């Protein structure tokens, strides 16, 4: 019933599951069948074999016992037969006629000398051998008549008789029923034995063959006793051995071949329905085995009838007769019951056949029943397996209905439970996944919208400098409405002009191997400053422009750019990011800021100016007032001189200030020759020093122009030169050199001043930092120089040795046309 629903999905679902489970599918059933066969059939076979052997053994025992009984019975029968004969013959020997005949003969011969005896015996022998009609007295003697009468009994022995005769003590024939015997039988061993033996001695001879007829004969001899119980003659009875015993032996047959036979202890057959009497059994071992002292049976190889197979032979000695025979000839007589092994073992073979058949049938039955049972067991297991494999594949599987009422049902229930729980947890997982997906999507949208909303352009490059990501701001900058630039190089976007992008690309390429992680790119903290009373002209920090160092001009707009390292995943290839910020306004603001800084809050800058001017002004005013009240012309002249000196100082200060304050935004940028600007700056600087003690060494090279505002460049050099001249306190040497270097212009200004202490080297660009005495510097000079150099993308370096002098070297990028 459940084969069909279970089988169908197995076929359907088998597509994927076949590889791993096909081999295992048929295994359980076979295993079960085999187990049943082994468990059921092996003991069965063992039991059968055992019972076969046991049966065979019992059967053999039974057969042997019955053979033994048969042999014994036969032997008893023959014993009785022989005893009967002995008794009958004993009676015969007591017959007076017989005795007298023997006595008479003995007496007659006793008185004859040997010559007469020989003659008489020869005569009688001749008469016996050549009988004349009615003259053969022996036949007609009374003794012969008695003998003949004796044979008239209708007994088997009478019929088997071949000769019956008597002989006297000399062995001379004294009566016979036929002419079978010799006349003188002295040589007969029986005669000797009996005549010399004791009373009652009976002789039974061995089987021998009649010289003429080849008939196997056996001789019985009985003593004829005289007056003193002394043997006086012998009664001989010769039987055809076969005829004598066959009546007792040959009728006993069983089956087709079973029969009893009689042998003597030498293995000579006395009577057998098959073998001829007198036949010598060939196997001495067999003969020895079956001629034990007591009735028994044996299982032996060979049967005495030519067969070589195992046979069972029952045997029994002739209990009474053996005494006689062994005394007579040393031989014992035995009966032995035998059956041909084929027939004998037929029942055993039959038993074997039955048992094997039964075994085979049982095995077959076990096989069939096992198969059925295994199918019954395996079927639900297969359903379970199928369901489990479907569950494993994540299919939705309904509840399994297995009602076997055993462990399999319990297992099915467990599987159902497991399935339910799995489905529950799966659905839970699905929900989680859905939620997580939602979260991820939200996060992505969130990040995307952040990146989209950021006014700065963000571009992420892969290690081959192809664009991996760009935001809206970037699209706005390049002013191209393309869905995605992914996989493109910035050089392949068809941008015009390409030069700034090429510059940017080169920078990216250079930075690809040497970028700083974005984390390190942070602006310094700018805490709120609380005002405390201090020298306002003391050095103070101002926001550095270094973070905006790198700028690029794209379409009339100035962008500060920053390259940062992007660690996407541990061990992934290096990505770099480019951040572009529109700093056009900031740059403008910065210019204004620079100005504003110079004019800052009247509190600082005007203070500087005021201080610079007010000090000489104090002197001028003061001395002028003194002059007004003074009468002494010498003193007046002296004070007037001071007024003039101080006025000159003021002029110098004003000159400095004017160059400093002038707003740089008034002029436009143009190509500027550095050499020219340096010359101009030298003029002003020298003028301002009022000193004749400065020696100037110039070594100018021919230079490419730079692109800048002329006044600002002049300001840079003026400030530096003023600084140096002031440092040398009007006495010393200025060495000024310029040269072109790798697309840059480099100017060096060295003085022979006292040098800058190392601890000040980092502070010299700070605004209002000064080491000069009151009135000799604003503290803004080098700050302005630094700002301007940075503004034009240049660099400024300073080296200084105490007591030897200071060298400033300034680099500006050359303007490439």
- Dig out the tokens for 526 from the structure: 């700018």
- Residue 417 burial (10 A CB sphere; 0-12, 13-18, 19+): exposed
Site map (CB under 8 A) of another protein, residues 630-649, x = contact: ------------x---x---
Binding flag, residue 776, another protein (CB under 8 A): no
**CB closer to another protein out of 265 and 619:** 619
Give yes or no for a cis peptide into 97 (omega within 30° of 0).
Answer: no
Alpha carbons 608 and 775: distance in angstroms, whole number? 9
* Nearer to another protein among residue 353 and residue 621 (C-beta): 621
Is residue 111 at the binding interface for another protein, with CB under 8 A as the rule? no
Closest CA to 79 of 336, 321, 334: 321
| 537 contributes a contact to another protein by CB under 8 A | yes
The burial of 505, by beta-carbon neighbours within 10 Å (0-12 exposed, 13-18 middle, 19 or more buried), is given as middle
Q: Which residue do the tokens 């299982």 mark?
A: 299
Q: Tell me the closest approach of the beta carbon of residue 638 to another protein, in angstroms.
A: 10
Identified binder of another protein from the candidate list 122, 440, 443, 621, rule CB under 8 A: 621
Give the phi and the psi of residue 533 in degrees, each rounded to 5: -65, 120
Question: What is the spatial distance between Cα 155 and Cα 178, in angstroms, rounded to a whole number?
Answer: 18
**Residue of 297, 461, 623, 812 interacting with another protein (CB under 8 A):** 623
- In this structure, how many other beta carbons lie within 10 angstroms of the beta carbon of residue 7? 14
For residue 599, the minimal CB distance to another protein (Å) is 15
Alpha-carbon dihedral sign for residues 69, 73, 74, 78:
positive
What is the contact mask toward another protein in residues 55 to 94, using x (rule: CB under 8 A)? Answer: ----------------------------------------
CB 328 within 8 A of CB 318: no
Number of residues written out for the chain? 817
3 state DSSP class of 502:
helix
With CB under 8 A as the contact rule, the residue among 534, 573, 666, 692 that binds another protein is: 534
In the bound complex, what is the minimum distance in angstroms from residue 546's beta carbon to another protein? 30
From the CB of 543, what's the least distance to another protein, in Å? 22
Binding segment toward another protein, per CB under 8 A, in 154-162, 384-392, 429-437, 770-778: 770-778
163 binds another protein (CB under 8 A): no
> What is the closest distance, in whole angstroms, from the C-beta atom of residue 644 to another protein in the complex?
12
Name which of 525 and 535 has its Cβ closer to another protein: 535
Q: How far apart are CA 182 and CA 689, in angstroms?
A: 197
Of residues 571 and 603, the one with the C-beta less far from another protein: 603
Instruction: Quote the least distance from Cβ 558 to another protein, whole Å.
Output: 37
Member of 69, 88, 274, 607 binding another protein (CB under 8 A): 607
Measured between alpha carbons, how far is 94 from 229 in angstroms, rounded to an integer?
11
Alpha helices in 151-240 (DSSP H): 156-160, 189-196
Number of residues that bind another protein (CB under 8 A): 31
Minimum CB distance to another protein, residue 612 (Å): 8
Give dist(CA 205, CA 235) in Å, integer. 13
Among 133, 629, 634, 692, binds another protein (CB under 8 A): 629
| C-beta of 236 vs 646, nearer to another protein | 646
Q: Tell me if 253 sits within 8 A of 243, measured CB to CB.
A: no
Choice from 544, 614, 691, 744 touching another protein (CB under 8 A): 614
The 10 Å CB-count burial string (b at 16+, else e) for 194-219 is bbeeeeebbbbbbbeeeeeeebbbbb
| Contact call for residue 321 and another protein (CB under 8 A) | no
- Residue in 582, 558, 517, 481 with CA at minimum distance from that of residue 470: 481
Tokens of 718: 């003026």
CA 44 to chain centre: 39
Paired tokens of 464 = 């081959």
> Residues 277 to 316: which contact another protein by CB under 8 A?
none
Question: Among 533, 556, 573, 759, which residue sits at the site for another protein (rule: CB under 8 A)?
Answer: 533
Stretch of 418-426, 660-668, 749-757, 768-776 contacting another protein, by CB under 8 A: 768-776
CA atoms within 13 A on the CB side of 64: 16
Instruction: Print the SS3 string covering 359-387.
Output: HHHHHHHHHHHHHHHHHHHHHHHHHHHHH
The stretch near another protein (CB under 8 A) out of 212-220, 243-251, 481-489, 621-629 is: 621-629
Asked if 615 interacts with another protein (CB under 8 A), we say yes
Chosen residue from 20, 113, 535, 570 binding another protein by CB under 8 A: 535
546 touches 765 (CB < 8 A): no
Report yes or no: 181 and 191 within 8 Å, Cβ to Cβ: no
Closer CB to another protein, 323 or 625, in the complex: 625
Binds another protein by CB under 8 A, chosen from 117, 125, 611, 662: 611
Residue whose pair of structure tokens reads 């007589």 in the numeric block? 333
Report the residue number, 227 or 529, with the smaller CB distance to another protein. Answer: 529
* 817 interacts with another protein by CB under 8 A: no
Q: Residue 675 CB: number of other CB atoms within 10 A?
A: 17
Q: Check binding of 536 to another protein (CB under 8 A).
A: yes
Instruction: Check residue 161 for interaction with another protein (CB under 8 A).
Output: no
From 249-257, 387-395, 618-626, 738-746, span contacting another protein (CB under 8 A): 618-626
Q: How far is the CB of 473 from another protein (least distance, A)?
A: 43
Segment near another protein (CB under 8 A), from 94-102, 317-325, 373-381, 767-775? 767-775
Cα 259 to Cα 303: distance, rounded to the nearest angstrom = 12
Which CB atom, from 373 or from 607, has the smaller least distance to another protein? 607
* 188 contacts 122 by C-beta, under 8 angstroms: no
- CA distances (Å), origin 703, targets 598, 675, 706, 809: 31, 8, 9, 15
Q: According to the binding rule CB under 8 A, does residue 483 interact with another protein?
A: no
The stretch among 47-55, 143-151, 405-413, 599-607 that binds another protein (CB under 8 A) is: 599-607
Least distance from C-beta 618 to another protein, angstroms? 4
Q: 113, 556, 634, 773: which one contacts another protein (CB under 8 A)?
A: 773
Neighbouring C-beta atoms of residue 710, cutoff 10 Å: 18
Q: Which of 28, 363, 411, 613 binds another protein (CB under 8 A)?
A: 613
Residue 662: CB minimum distance to another protein, A: 23
Check binding of 653 to another protein (CB under 8 A).
no
Residue 569 burial (C-beta neighbours within 10 Å; 0-12, 13-18, 19+): exposed
DSSP states of 26-95 as a string?
A: THHHHHHHHHHIIIIIHHHHHHHHHHHHHHHHHHHHHHHHHHHHHHHHHHHHHHHHHHHHHHHHHHHHT-
Query: Of residues 626, 651, 735, 798, which one binds another protein by CB under 8 A?
Result: 626
Considering beta carbons, is residue 417 or 618 the nearer one to another protein? 618
Minimal distance, residue 767 CB to another protein, in Å: 16
Binding site for another protein (CB under 8 A): 531, 533-537, 603, 606-607, 610-623, 625-626, 629, 642, 646, 773-775
């Amino acid at each position: 019933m459940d084969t069909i629903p279970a089988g169908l999905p197995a076929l359907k679902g088998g597509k994927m599951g076949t590889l791993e489970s096909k081999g295992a599918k048929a295994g359980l059933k076979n295993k079960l069948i085999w187990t049943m066969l082994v468990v059921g059939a092996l003991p069965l076979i063992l039991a059968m074999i055992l019972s076969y052997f046991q049966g065979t053994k019992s059967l053999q025992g039974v057969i042997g016992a019955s053979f033994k009984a048969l042999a014994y019975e036969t032997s008893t029968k023959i014993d009785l037969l022989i005893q009967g004969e002995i008794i009958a013959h004993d009676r015969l020997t007591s017959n007076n006629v017989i005795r007298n005949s023997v006595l008479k003969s003995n007496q007659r011969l006793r008185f004859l000398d040997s010559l007469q005896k020989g003659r008489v015996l020869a005569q009688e022998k001749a008469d016996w051998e050549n009988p004349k009609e009615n003259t053969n007295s022996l036949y007609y003697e009374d003794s012969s008549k008695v003998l003949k009468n004796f044979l008239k009994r209708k007994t088997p022995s009478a019929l088997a008789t071949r000769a019956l005769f008597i002989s006297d003590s000399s062995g001379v024939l004294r009566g016979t029923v036929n002419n079978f015997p010799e006349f003188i039988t002295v040589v007969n061993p029986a005669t000797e034995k009996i005549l010399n033996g004791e009373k009652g001695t009976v002789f039974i001879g061995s089987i021998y063959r009649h010289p003429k007829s080849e008939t196997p004969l056996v001789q019985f001899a009985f003593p004829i006793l005289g007056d003193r119980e002394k043997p006086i003659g012998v009664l001989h009875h010769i039987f055809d051995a076969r005829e004598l015993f066959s009546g007792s032996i040959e009728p006993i047959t069983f089956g087709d071949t079973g029969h009893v036979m009689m042998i003597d202890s030498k293995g000579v057959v006395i009577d057998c329905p098959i073998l001829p009497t007198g036949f010598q059994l060939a196997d001495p071992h067999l003969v020895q085995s079956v001629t034990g002292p007591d009735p028994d049976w044996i299982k032996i190889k060979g049967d005495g009838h030519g067969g070589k197979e195992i046979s069972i032979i029952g045997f029994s000695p002739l209990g009474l007769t053996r005494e006689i025979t062994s005394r007579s000839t040393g031989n014992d007589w035995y009966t032995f019951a035998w059956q041909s092994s084929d027939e004998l073992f037929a029942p055993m073979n039959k038993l074997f056949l039955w048992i094997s058949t039964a075994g085979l049938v049982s095995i077959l039955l076990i096989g069939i029943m096992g198969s059925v049972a295994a199918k019954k067991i395996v079927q639900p297991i297969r359903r379970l397996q199928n369901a489990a494999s479907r569950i494993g594949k994540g299919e939705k599987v309904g509840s399994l209905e297995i009602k076997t009422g055993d462990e399999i049902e319990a297992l099915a229930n467990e599987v159902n439970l497991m399935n339910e729980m799995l489905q529950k947890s799966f659905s839970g997982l699905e929900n989680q996944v859905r939620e997580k997906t939602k979260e991820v999507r939200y996060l992505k949208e969130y990040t995307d919208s952040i990146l989209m909303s950021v006014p700065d352009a963000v571009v992420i490059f892969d290690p081959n400098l192809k664009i991996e990501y760009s935001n809206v701001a970037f699209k706005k900058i390049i002013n191209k409405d393309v869905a995605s630039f992914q996989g493109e190089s910035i050089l392949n976007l068809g941008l015009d002009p390409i030069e700034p992008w090429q510059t940017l690309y080169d920078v990216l390429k250079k930075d690809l191997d040497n970028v700083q992680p974005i984390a390190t790119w942070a602006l310094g903290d700018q805490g709120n400053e609380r005002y405390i009373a201090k020298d306002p002209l003391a050095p103070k920090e101002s926001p550095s422009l270094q973070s905006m160092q790198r700028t690029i001009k794209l379409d009339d707009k100035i962008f500060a750019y920053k390259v940062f390292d992007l660690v996407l995943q541990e061990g992934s290839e290096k990505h770099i990011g480019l951040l572009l910020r529109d700093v056009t306004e900031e740059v403008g603001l910065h210019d204004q800021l620079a100005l504003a800084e110079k004019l800052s809050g009247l509190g600082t800058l005007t203070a500087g100016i005021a201080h610079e001017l007010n000090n000489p002004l104090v002197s001028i005013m003061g001395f002028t007032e003194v002059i007004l009240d003074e009468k002494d012309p010498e003193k007046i002249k002296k004070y007037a001189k001071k007024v003039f000196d101080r006025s000159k100082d003021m002029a110098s200060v004003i000159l400095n200030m004017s160059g400093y304050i002038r707003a740089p935004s008034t002029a436009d940028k143009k190509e500027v020759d550095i050499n020219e600007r340096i010359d101009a700056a030298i003029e002003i600087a020298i003028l301002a020093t009022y000193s004749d003690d400065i020696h100037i060494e110039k070594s100018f090279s021919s230079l490419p122009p730079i692109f800048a505002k002329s006044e600002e460049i002049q300001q840079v050099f003026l400030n530096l030169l003023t600084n140096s001249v002031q440092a040398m306190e009007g006495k010393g040497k200025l060495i000024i050199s310029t040269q072109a270097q790798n697309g840059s212009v480099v100017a060096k200004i060295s003085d022979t001043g006292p040098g800058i202490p190392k601890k000040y080297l980092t502070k010299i660009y700070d605004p209002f930092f000064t080491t000069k005495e009151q009135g000799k510097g604003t503290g803004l000079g080098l700050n302005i120089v630094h700002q301007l150099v940075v503004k034009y993308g240049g660099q400024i370096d300073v080296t200084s040795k105490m007591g030897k002098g200071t060298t400033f070297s300034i680099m500006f990028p050359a303007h490439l046309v």
